[in-house]
Structure 1
Amino acid sequence: MINHNRRTFIRHLILASCTTLLPVSAFSAQGAELEEIRSHRIYVDGHNGRNSNDGTESSPLRTIQSASNKLPNGGDIVIREGVYRETVTVAYAHQSFSNYPNEEVTVTGLDVVTGWSLYKDGIYQANFSGFETQFTQVFANDAYMQMARYPNQSNGDMLSVRESGSGYADIVVNNAADKNDTTSNKRVVFNDMNNIPDDYWVGGYFRGISGKTWQNPHGRITSNSGNLIQVKSELTDWTKNNKNIPGSGWGFIFHLNALDVAGEWYAQDGKLYFKPEDNIDVNSLKIEAQKREWAFIINGKDNTSISGLNIKAASLQLKSDDTVIKKTSFRYIFPYFSRANYNSSFKQQGGIYVNGNNNTFGECYVAHTWGNGFSIEDGHNNTIHNCIIEDIGWNAQFTSSVLTHAFNTTISNSTLGSTGRFHIRFNDKINILYNDIFDSTRLGQDAGSIEATSGSAYDTALDIKNSVIAYNHIHDSSTLPTSKAVASNGNSGKQFVVALYLEDVKNYTAHHNVIWNFQTDIKDDGTFVYLGPRRTTIENVKYYNNTVYNTHYRIRLWNRDRQGAINSTNFTNNLFAGPMVDLESTNTLLKCITHENELNDANPSDTFVDHLNGDFRLRASATDAINKGKTIAGITNNFVGSTPDIGAYEYGQPAWVPGASIARPCFAPMNCDEATPGAKAIPKK
């Protein structure tokens, strides 16, 4: 049989305490009027139902779509256990979709692939075409399978590059040698690729991470000889010979000729190729490939509710208001994708797509994707509460656990772990409260766990309208490690990983956050906060009662062309443990920041209960911090003693607790009692 323990990577995120279903927690009532509308109830049973039935429990419908079509005034759609292979376009407002009590329901973009015949060398082929995304995803007996890749991805960690089995090779992108060539023909050297026949990779797909700012050159391979491949660029900047792209880095090749181990697959010319383990009849396996992009489409149908469903290898498109999504999982949201430009639009990056108002996601599990977790393009007052979002952004570059350009988004009491680039990226008012946020920037650099920036608008400050970032743990993040070629000559290039990357941003408060372990590879470049302001003026910026440990820098500024300015920016009651410095090349704007009642370079062993295990409560011996803070209205309420303490925790008060309270779910075929060797452990609180 296929070795699921080896081939399935998701198990490394599962703890022994995980449960099959997300725990139930009551949500607020929708109101008497809505309850009356939803008194109509229809049942769906994919095994025993018929769409000609009346929809009662004893005479259920077969598809979810048929049930939605039958409720023009809204109502409840109760779904019996099973796998539903459909895109449900919600037909009317005020409809709710939920699983039958204690039964597991999966809505999937996958279709079963049959009709296999031998291709060659233990590889089988079957007809498969017409999928809605640029690439597809394949599963065998419910386990995620890898696209045929050189080198092989075998360690199960899609966010690693240097570790054995990561699926990345050491490369040099050589378009510096072709600097006068603005055609799309480019050259890449795979340093350790040996004994590959000429033109073996022709027609395949190259993807790299290279250059000064870790660009992502990619394109179709036109020839190869020795360890050199020629690539037709599909990245605009690479075609134009952007100076940031050439250099050392990492890369891989997708190609049918790379299909050399059991569990790999490749889709090409209307056929799907798959290699089972030796002596296994491929027709005895349930092999599924992604056909549909969306599991649910909710456009203009307000007051929709989804509860207790599992969505696999598909996503949700939500262009409505007052929708509630609760106790629902979204896994393998988006397959591999490429794009022509350095940045990209919301839908190009996948993710749960939201464009609307007053929508709520609660007690959801969102994990495993090449793109974003959430893509909230527009609207106001959307909420993500008590969710787990992890293993996001395998494509890196500008992927985020949550990308939002909407107004007054709230992300609260959630756990955000392991992402290729950003965790939360935004450009309007936001509330980030009581979250546990860690392990960002696994496949990138020059980024922040939480980021907002005015982008190319150097002369304009981004107004985030009294946003609040408070009571969060933000920790244990680094950058993409330096490749062997770069490390050998001691040139680490630009790295820069930041807890709060708020460039050219004004009008916000960050208080009672605990930040620790922001480190970089070779070059010391981990930072608590980066402020800009480049060529603009930032103002009304407040940092109160934060605790920071084990970062290289405290405050970083960039006074671009000496045209930036800082007004009314105040740091008060912050506790900085261990040596860290401020950095600005001109050293003029640092003097514009006000510092009050702060403790710098505190000894962590004397100050914290257990800093090595993430417990930053104050010890009784922390006399330099206890009762040494300044009273700040609305910020330091309920302090103990004569004055507030310095730092994020008040000695003598119960410690606030960040992160989600739901259990991480477990899905077949996981063995939830095992941990994958080499997996990144969930840090202790």
Structure 2
Amino acid sequence: MRWQWFVFPPGCRAVAVLALGLSVRAEATTYYVATNGLDTYAGTNLAAPYKSIQRAAVRMVAGDCCFIRAGVYHQTLAPSHSGTAGGPITFSAYSNEVVTLDAADAVSGWAVWSNGIYQAPVTWSLGAGYDQVFVDGAMVHQAQQPAYGNGDVFHPGTAVVSVSSNNVISSAAWSGKPDNYWAGAWFVGGVDLMWAWQTARVISSTGSTITVDPATETSPWFSGNGRGFLWGQLDFLDADNEWQLQTNANTNTLYLRIAGGADPSTHTVEMKSRNWCVDFNGQSYITVSGLNLSAGAVRVVGNGNVLQGCRAQFLSHFLGFNSGYAEDGGVQQGGGVVISGTSNIVRNCTLLNTAGCGVKSSGTSNLITRNLIYNTDYSGTYAACLVIEGNRDTVTFNTAHSSGRDILRPGGAGLDIRFNDLSDPGRLCLDLGVIYAWGVLSQGTGGPGTRIAFNWIHDNLHPVPSPLIYLDNYDADFIVDHNVCWNSGGDAGVRINGPALGHLIYNNTLFNCSDVGTFTYQQWPTSNPNPAFWTNSVYQYAASNNLFLSASPATQLVNWTNEDFQLAPGAPAIDAGVVIAGFTDGFQGRAPDLGAYEFGALAWRAGTQSRPTLAIAKSGGGFELEASPDAAYYTLAATTNPAVPSAWIAVTNRPSVSGIQWSLALPGPAGTACYYRLQTE
């Protein structure tokens, strides 16, 4: 809960509030789990905990809580029963101790093989391209040619390649080997238009060319120049921090070379063994809080579930995929935190380093808020930090950056996307946006269209097409207002390709990019996703009150380099706009301003660290409180006794674009203090 207090000495009037209580069974039980526990213990005493989380999970019912002591647990958390709205089942780290659920298991029994390479038996594999190995908690890479090198997840070692239309790929890096030396390996690379990376199996090779099996080519498959690598053979293992798994019917052998050819038995070596760290298992009203998750994804399937305060890395891993267009590599765990159902919440989590998405949401009315998400889609597919395919989902106050392709893909209808800080897409792919949509009817079957508002959207510094908000072909009814868009590679801050219908583009601030609608591409009638809706090459949108500052933001903004995008005193944009009902309500001065910030109104910020502000204006026998626009997601509460939690009562919000206002009376005994706070829950 976040709040800010304000004290008013003259007094305040009490406001009635209706409290709705939901019963929890009186016999609710608290369980404890610790690495030094035993599953034969009662588990209900801190001194006699269970050893496995699952021992508690199968017993817990509505209202029960499980506290997990510090340590690493090589298991999947999967509840067996649902809680209730008033009595959720809760799994939490005990007293803020560091608890890790690890989907990888230890590998032991190492023996020298050759050239600094060691071998060890393993009894499991998730399949070619899906296995993943860690040394002392850091991911090491499957052997490839050229070697991976020391690059991060977006910079694997690659060779310059040329892909021809007859399934032949040429590279000087592959010359000097006997015929069919590369047969059986897999090619992965980014080529030509590079909407996504592409992969195929090598069936033959000669000289500097390989031939791939067209039946294994992923879509999109581009011909032309690019870069890529080969993986899948033990002969490729010739560099530090690489591995290869050889499988057969009886046992598997892991070959590993770590830095300096050191003995792996002196390090902690693990190989991924499970796809899921947490699986809500179709249950509802489950809360998972404060856990570290490694090498596995999270499946939030059900209603009213909460994932909060968790740090998850390496949620998914895959080198192969059936289609580059798939957001999850064609496997469910590729969605990262996979949400389906109704009214689920993911908040205050950190998600990083994953081949697929950070969050992939479907269902209805889910909330994704105040999460830090980065280094997603290192597979170079259509994954993203956030893929939102549900209807009426709310995505607020997130900071998301650094992804192989897009940062946020709004594929559902009636989405609410506000106060997010989104940046740095395109680490592997081309022709993309910070926010990207194609073929989306954002209004769905009724209700408002998806609203993208009050966001900071920046740094798509790649060759055109490189817009910041990219409403690609066959999109309809997006509402794009009060965003700050800056730093593109020469493309528009908001690009609208055709066909397009019903977009509203109002009060955005744009600089170091091109203006709204500067570039467009009409795709009609090719690849029409909905012929019943798109019956012609319509191209229609409304744009007004946008502030385009070209390459000169300092001429009208206070201090854009320090993320202060308010209008400077005397800026020509002040009072230069027009009234647009529902978008300029509560404007200051003679007329609305141009751009995302109204001069004289309280400023808002975007991302995980943003917090609303309150201001006081007294007039006559009462006073007015005003909050910045992001207070729309908060509740104002008042009390004369802040020491008593139950004494706080809610005050009704009055939202407007420029802020939230409350007009309040000041009766009451002289000298009585009244306290106000904004709270999130």
Aligned-partner Cα distance in 1 for 2:445–2:202? 41
Counterpart for residue 530 of structure 1: 495
Q: Which of 116-125 and 304-313 deviates more? A: 116-125
1:454-481 CA distances to partner (integer Å, 9 max, x unpaired)?
27x9xx99988332111100000134x7
Q: How does 1:44-55 map to 2 (within 5 A)?
A: 44-55=33-44
Aligned position for 1:362: 347
For 2:23 and 2:147, locate their aligned partners in 1 and report how far apart those are by CA, in whole Å: 53
The one-letter code sitting in structure 2 at the alignment partner of 1:571 is: A
1:514 aligns with 2:499: no
Whether the aligned pair in 1 keeps the contact of 2:472 and 2:498 (CA below 8 Å) is no
Q: Which moved more, 1:332-341 or 1:427-436?
A: 332-341
- Asked whether the equivalents of residues 441 and 497 of structure 1 are also in contact (C-alpha less than 8 Å), the reply is no
Give aligned-pair identity as a percent.
27
Q: Post-superposition shift, 1:528? A: 2.1
One-letter code of the match for 1:136? D
Task: Say if 2:153 is the partner of 1:170.
Answer: no
Query: Cα distance, 1:630 vs. partner?
Result: 1.8
Higher alpha-carbon deviation: 309-318 or 439-448: 439-448
Partner of 1:660: 608
Alignment-derived partner of residue 510 in structure 2: 548
The farther-off stretch of 649-658 and 327-336 is 649-658
What are the superposed Cα offsets for residues 352-374 of structure 1, whole Å, 9 maximum, x if unpaired? 11111000011000111111111
Counterpart AA for 2:47: S
Residues 558/38 of structure 1: CA separation in 2 closer, same or farther (3 Å cut): farther
1:267 and 2:242 correspond = no
Q: Distance in 1 between matches of 2:24 and 2:607?
A: 32
- Residue 156 of structure 1 aligns to a residue whose secondary structure is coil
Q: Which residue of 2 aligns with 1:58?
A: 47
In the alignment, the residues of structure 1 paired with residue 177 and residue 566 of structure 2 have an alpha-carbon distance, to the nearest angstrom, of: 57
Deviation string for 1:604-646 (max 9, x for gaps)? 3322233455543322242x21121223333224433222221
Amino acid paired to 1:130 = W
Per-residue CA deviations over 1:488-542 (Å, capped at 9, x if unaligned) read xxxxxx74444232533333321110001110xxxx5x222233332xx612x21
* Mapping of residues 80-119 of structure 1, within 5 Å: 80-94=69-83, 95-119=89-113
CA shift in 2, pair 1:478/1:37, >3 Å: farther
Alpha-carbon spacing, 1:443–1:613, altered in 2? closer, same or farther (3 Å):
farther
Give the Cα separation in 1 of the matches to 2:91 and 2:30.
Answer: 10
- Compared CA separation, residues 646 and 261, structure 1 to 2 (3 A): same
**1:54–1:435 Cα change, 3 Å:** closer
Contact 1:304/1:322 (<8 A) preserved: yes
What is the aligned partner in structure 2 of residue 607 from structure 1?
Answer: 556
Give 2:154's aligned residue: 159
Residues 173-202 of structure 1: per-residue CA shift (max 9 Å, x gap): 12x2x2xxxxxxx32112445555554433
Q: Which has the larger radius of gyration?
A: 2
Tell me the CA shift for residue 102 of structure 1. Answer: 2.7
The alpha-carbon distance between structure 1 residues 393 and 38, as it changes in their structure 2 partners (threshold 3 A), is: farther
Q: Equivalent residues in 2 for 1:639-678 (5 A)?
A: 639-661=587-609
Distance in structure 2 (CA, Å) of the matches to 1:191 and 1:93: 59
Q: Is the 8 A contact 2:198 2:324 kept in 1?
A: no
Matches of 1:38 and 1:236, distance apart in 2 = 58
2:430 pairs with 445, 452, 460, which one? 445
Name the CA distance, whole Å, in 1 between partners of 2:493 and 2:444: 20
**Residue in 1 that maps onto 2:418:** 433
TM-score by length of structure 2 reads 0.78
Shift of 1:332: 0.3
Residue 408 of structure 2 aligns with an amino acid whose one-letter code is I
In terms of mean alpha carbon deviation, does 639-648 or 553-562 score higher?
553-562
Change (3 A) 1:273 1:531: same
**1:352 equivalenced with 2:350 (yes/no):** no
**Does 1:466 find its partner at 2:449?**
yes
Distance between the aligned counterparts of 2:81 and 2:482, measured in 1? Answer: 44
Counterpart check, 1:339 vs 2:321: yes
Shift of 1:234: 5.2
Residue in 2 aligned with 1:412?
396
Q: CA deviation at 1:652?
A: 3.1
Q: How does 1:108-257 map to 2 (within 5 A)?
A: 108-132=102-126, 134-160=129-155, 166-174=156-164, 176=165, 178=166, 186-193=167-174, 195-196=176-177, 198-233=179-214, 235-236=216-217, 245-254=222-231, 255-257=233-235
Aligned residue for 2:531? none
In structure 2, how many angstroms separate the alpha carbons of the residues matched to 1:324 and 1:477? Answer: 32
Summarize the Cα distance change of 1:552–1:544 in structure 2 as closer, same or farther, 3 Å threshold.
Answer: closer
Is 1:424 matched up with 2:408? yes
Mapped to 2, the partners of 1:388 and 1:403 lie a distance apart of: 15
CA distance in 2, matches of 1:344, 1:210: 18
- 1:275 is displaced (CA, Å) by 0.5
- Amino acid of the residue matched to residue 453 of structure 1? W
Equivalent residue for 2:461?
478
Pair 654,191 (structure 1): closer, same or farther in 2 beyond 3 Å = farther
Distance 1:300 1:574 in 2: 45
Match of residue 303 from structure 2:
321
For residues 628-672 of structure 1, give each alpha carbon's deviation from its aligned partner in whole angstroms, at most 9, with x where no partner exists: 122333322443322222111222333211001299xxxxxxxxx
**Contact 2:143–2:234 (Cα < 8 Å) also in 1:** yes
| SS of residue matched to 1:447 | coil
Amino acid at match of 1:445: L
Partner of 1:303: 285
> Against the structure 1 CA distance between its residues 65 and 655, is the aligned structure 2 distance closer, same or farther, given a 3 Å change threshold?
same
Return closer, same or farther for 1:527/1:168 CA change in 2, 3 Å cut-off.
farther
3-state DSSP class of the match of 1:65?
A: helix
Tell me the alpha carbon deviations over residues 106-132 of structure 1, each in whole angstroms, 9 at most, x when there is no partner.
111100001111222111111224334
Give the TM-score normalised by structure 1. 0.77
Answer yes or no: is the 8 Å Cα contact 1:188–1:230 preserved in 2. yes
Structure 2 unaligned blocks of 5 or more: 4-18, 84-88, 526-535, 612-681
Q: 1:57 deviation in Å?
A: 1.1
Contact 1:362 1:385 in 2 (8 A): yes
Aligned mates of 1:233, 1:118 — CA distance in 2: 39
Whole-angstrom distance in 2 between the partners of 1:327 and 1:619:
38
Q: What is the RMSD computed on CA atoms of the aligned residues?
A: 2.8
- Count matched residues: 569
Deviates more, 1:195-204 or 1:394-403: 195-204
Partner of 1:454: 439
Gap change, CA 1:265 and 1:605, over 3 Å in 2: same
Q: Indicate if the aligned counterparts of 2:467 and 2:494 stay in contact, CA closer than 8 A.
A: no
What SS is found at the alignment partner of 1:564? coil
Aligned residue for 1:300, secondary structure, equals: coil
Superposition deviation, residue 411 in structure 1: 0.8
Indicate conservation of the 8 Å contact 1:44/1:79, yes or no: yes
Answering whether residue 584 of structure 2 is matched by residue 636 of structure 1, we say yes
1:31 and 1:293 mapped to 2: Cα distance? Answer: 40
Aligned to 1:380: 364
